[in-house]
Amino acid sequence: MEARHLRYALTLAEHEHFGRAAGALGIAQPPLSKQIADLEREVGARLFDRTRRGVFPTAAGAAFLTRARRALDEIAAASVDAARAARGETGRLRLGFIASALLEPLPDVLGRFGRERPDVRWELHEMATNRSTAALVAGELDVAIGLGRPRGVGAEELVSVPIGHDHLVAVVSSTHPYAGRPSVHVDQLRRQPLIVASGEDEPAVATGLRALLGKDSPALSGATVARDIHTIIGLAACGVGVGLGPSRMLAAPRRGTWFCEVTPRTPLPELVLSFSARDRSPALNAFLDVIRANCPDVGAALDHRLGHVTTSAASTPS
């Protein structure tokens, strides 16, 4: 039994006449009569009464047609659902991100994606860079946003593009001696209690701070470790010390705090978007399209990287 058999039966029931039903279907009457007879043999019951007044469903036919109509509706819905999934309008996207990405660019990107793809189900996980990289390699995430290029086993299988650039800034309480200053020198930081991100969670940042302040810096070894930039800012507001973090912290001003530039200007690891080179799911492609639209420079780099990955795969001998 095929979907066309169901359509034939429903059309015949609608027109109550083999000739009119055949015309509506665009086929000749004899083939339609044969298809209906074949369907009745397969079902094992007479579905239509053939009378001089017309062709009418039997009790068995009425029951069959009710199910047939539902079946065709389901087939049509399945086709629509499949097409929507293929366009990335439905499905699931699992995103891991560091907290500072919520300052930029995630608000604009997620807002736009949500408006354009309201039926894609998000799974959002705030996590440190090293953990999001491991989850991405393990197939537990579809895309990750972290600091610096992914490292470790399996990282070579990831496509990564920078989506943000940062430099080091300091945040202090409004009662701190540095409050009101436009900048603070690195040498002054070496003599201050510091608040920094965890080296275990954000190794790229920790490496940069060690290079800046000295590998065996007492200020770093005695620093207060914070989970994310919001905690760094909060602890600085409490007067715990001088918080050090990315310049995107400037987008999160808090009453009772003051931000200073650190001189000389010190670049921090880039904010990087990564995903598996093997994952080209429609939902991920749709997300990357939003990245392209929101961040044209990132889109160009993304297209270059994807072109390189595609070319490399094509040139690899099977």
* DSSP track, 129-178: HHHHHHHHHTTS-SEEEEESS--STTGGGEEEEEEEEEEEEEEEETTSTT
Closest to 262 measured CA to CA, from 178, 204, 201, 174: 178
Q: What pLDDT score does 132 carry?
A: 92
Segment 64-90 shows an average pLDDT of 90
Segment 165-174 shows an average pLDDT of 93
CA–CA separation, 261 and 269 (whole Å): 17
Which has more confidence, 297 or 60? Answer: 60
Segment 159-186 shows an average pLDDT of 93
Q: What pLDDT score does 208 carry?
A: 82
pLDDT at 93 over 80: yes
Which amino acid would we find at residue 87?
R
Element (H, E) at 317: none
Q: Which of 3-12, 237-246, 306-315 has the lowest mean pLDDT?
A: 306-315
**All CATH 3.40.190.10 domain ranges in the chain, comma separated:** 91-164+271-310, 170-268
Residue 318 confidence class, pLDDT cut points 50, 70, 90: very low
Segment 152-173 shows an average pLDDT of 90
**All CATH 1.10.10.10 domain ranges in the chain, comma separated:** 3-87
CATH fold of 3-87 reads: Arc Repressor Mutant, subunit A (1.10.10)
Q: What pLDDT score does 165 carry?
A: 87
pLDDT at 135 over 90: yes
Residue 317 confidence class, pLDDT cut points 50, 70, 90: very low
Residue 133 confidence class, pLDDT cut points 50, 70, 90: very high
Class of domain 91-164+271-310 (CATH, top level): alpha beta
pLDDT at 226 over 70: yes
**From 3.40.190.10, 3.40.50.170, 3.40.50.300, 3.30.460.10, which CATH number describes the 170-268 domain?**
3.40.190.10
The chain-wide mean pLDDT, for the chain, equals 89
pLDDT at 246 over 70: yes
- How far is residue 85 CA from its own chain's centroid? 14
Which has more confidence, 317 or 40? Answer: 40
CA dist list (Å): 265 to 61, 169, 186, 188: 81, 9, 9, 14
